[in-house]
């Protein structure tokens, strides 16, 4: 995997700061108002040009809400999302529509996101038509080029989505996302619905496209083998917070946050001769409508101390260049 510039001298492509998404619970007649669900709370991270940052954590930890907030498919409650320095949360709906040329998304279930009544060629041509600037012949040529680039046969353009396999449908979703030469693609569990053999093909395709076009990915996944393969850096989320961020190799070799340790210990062991010790995560995740005080992980953390219940640990650097950040009082 090629190195990605992550020095502070290089301005990030995407900078997310103090992002919050709280959902208000509907008030029921004659009942007290329920507290809002804090799906994402005070999340900050950056993504460099050509970099893959993965967001990982248990389901319900806020990773998909965070990723969708970047595109404003979910409207954040507070915070800042800057793309090349431009504040996306300040843009009007029309300005945001124009900016989506640079920001695309690939969904977990491509079938649900593809119009079943359109032929594959029209699905991929749709963003080109919406953003204008091309003749019909240029669009047709671009569609054929995109089909070839994602490994679909030219005659696939005249077929409907239901005629494709899951892997082919995901290739179609990738061709559509790629159509406008985006700078960043949010990949929301893009391979979790596919067979394992097809997963590897799609992940390798995404990596090839990144190497060729310098696209950045914000990659949401729960499969740590996939995350380990595709990521440059990884951010671990727990109950709406980022608890650890590090480059891929550091995170998998030397995790520091107790939750990251537990999460990685449950992943498949790469070398069966040196099996890792599996640590079981105790209890269920607390409700994001009523998160624990202090460190949100203290109700399940084997190392918890009194301070953990009282003070929220900040995400702070643990190495010289600030790339490894951990939110824990003890680690
Ligand atoms: Fe565990 Fe305390 Fe660290 Fe939270 S701050 S992860 S409870 S040791």
Pocket test for ligand 1, best of 238, 279, 301 (most atoms within 8 A of CB): 301
- Alpha-carbon distance 286 to 61, whole Å? 10
Alpha carbon distance 81, 17 (integer Å): 7
Distance in angstroms (rounded) separating the CA atoms of residues 72 and 99: 11
Q: How far apart are CA 243 and CA 238, in angstroms?
A: 7
What is the predicted pLDDT for the residue at 44? 96
Confidence check: pLDDT of 271 > 80 = no
* Span 152-164, average pLDDT: 93
Dist CA 64 CA 188 (whole Å): 7
Ligand 1 centre from 298 Cα, in Å?
6
Strand 78-83 vs strand 86-87: parallel, antiparallel, or unpaired? antiparallel
Spatial distance between the Cα atoms of 21 and 23, rounded to a whole number of angstroms: 7
State pTM to two decimals.
Answer: 0.92
pLDDT exceeds 90 at position 320: no
DSSP helix/strand/coil, 44 = strand
Give the separation between CA 297 and CA 275, rounded to whole angstroms: 26
Q: What is the pLDDT of residues 59-111, one digit of tens each?
A: 889 999 999 999 999 999 999 999 999 999 999 999 999 999 999 999 988 77
Q: Which range among 152-166, 255-269, 286-300 shows the weakest confidence by mean pLDDT?
A: 255-269
Query: Residue 228: what pLDDT?
Result: 95
User: CB under 8 Å to 154, separation ≥6 — which residues?
Assistant: 144, 147, 148
Residue 290 to residue 37: CA distance in whole angstroms: 8
pLDDT tens-digit profile of 118-139?
Answer: 999 999 999 999 987 889 999 9
pLDDT over threshold 80, residue 270:
no
pLDDT, position 30:
64
**Which ligand 1 atom lies nearest to the CA of residue 259?**
6
Q: Cα(281) to centroid of ligand 1, in Å?
A: 14
Number of CB atoms found within 10 A of residue 144's CB: 15
Residue 280: which pLDDT band, with cuts at 50, 70 and 90?
Answer: confident
Choice between 268 and 15, residue whose per-residue pLDDT is larger: 15
> Hey, what are 159's tokens?
């077929």
Whether the predicted pLDDT of 5 surpasses 50: no
List C-alpha distances in Å: 159 to 30, 120, 123, 179: 55, 6, 11, 18
pLDDT tens-place string over residues 165-202: 999 999 999 999 999 999 999 999 999 888 888 999 99
Q: Is the pLDDT of residue 275 over 70?
A: no
pLDDT category at 7 given cuts 50, 70, 90 is: very low
At 147, the pLDDT band (50, 70, 90 cuts) reads very high
CA distances from 226 to 124, 184, 219, 291 (A): 26, 19, 10, 30
Mean pLDDT of 32-51: 90
Q: Which of 255, 262, 303, 305 to mutate to test the pocket of ligand 1 (most atoms within 8 A of CB)?
A: 303
Burial of 218 (0-12, 13-18, 19+ CB in 10 A): buried
Pick 8 or 254 by higher pLDDT.
254
Note the pLDDT of residue 321: 85
Which band of pLDDT confidence, cut at 50, 70 and 90, is reported for residue 269? Answer: low
In this predicted structure, the answer to whether residue 203 has a pLDDT above a threshold of 90 is yes
Tell me how far the alpha carbon of residue 202 lies from the centroid of ligand 1, in angstroms: 37
Mean pLDDT, residues 204-231 taken together = 96
Domains (ranges, CATH) in the chain? 14-22+38-256 (3.40.50.300)
Ligand 1 pocket at CB < 6 A: 257-258, 295, 297-298, 301, 303-304, 308, 313, 328-331
DSSP assignment letter at 280: P
- State how far the Cα of 16 lies from the Cα of 62, in Å rounded to an integer: 14
Lookup: tokens for 255:
């995790």
């Amino acid at each position: 995997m090629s190195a990605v510039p992550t020095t502070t001298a290089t301005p990030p492509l995407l900078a997310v700061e103090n992002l919050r998404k709280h959902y208000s619970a509907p008030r029921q007649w004659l009942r007290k108002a329920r507290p809002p669900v804090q799906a994402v709370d005070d999340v900050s991270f950056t993504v460099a040009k050509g970099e893959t940052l993965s967001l990982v954590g248990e389901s319900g930890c806020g990773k998909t809400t965070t990723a969708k907030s970047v595109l404003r498919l979910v409207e954040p409650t507070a915070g800042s999302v800057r793309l090349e320095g431009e504040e996306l949360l300040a843009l009007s709906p029309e300005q945001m529509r124009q900016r989506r040329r640079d920001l695309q998304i690939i969904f977990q279930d491509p079938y649900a996101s593809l119009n079943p009544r359109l032929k594959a060629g029209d699905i991929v041509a749709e963003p080109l038509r919406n953003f204008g600037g091309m003749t019909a012949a240029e669009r047709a040529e671009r569609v054929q080029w995109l089909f070839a680039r994602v490994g679909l046969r030219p005659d696939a353009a005249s077929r409907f989505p239901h005629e494709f396999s899951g892997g082919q449908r995901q290739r179609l979703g990738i061709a559509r996302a790629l159509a406008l030469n985006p700078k960043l693609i949010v990949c929301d569990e893009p391979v979790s619905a596919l067979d394992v053999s097809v997963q590897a093909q799609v992940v390798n395709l995404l990596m090839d496209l990144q190497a060729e076009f310098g696209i950045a990915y914000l990659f949401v996944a729960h499969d740590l083998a996939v995350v380990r393969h595709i990521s440059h850096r990884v951010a671990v989320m727990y109950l709406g917070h980022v608890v650890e961020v590090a480059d891929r190799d550091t995170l998998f070799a030397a995790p520091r946050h107790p939750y990251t340790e537990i999460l990685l210990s449950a992943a498949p062991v790469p070398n069966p001769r040196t099996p890792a010790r599996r640590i079981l995560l105790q209890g269920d995740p607390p409700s994001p409508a009523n998160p624990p005080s202090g460190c949100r992980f203290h109700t399940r953390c084997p190392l918890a101390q009194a301070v953990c219940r009282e003070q929220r640990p900040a995400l702070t650097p643990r190495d010289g260049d600030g790339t490894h950040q951990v939110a824990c009082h003890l680690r």
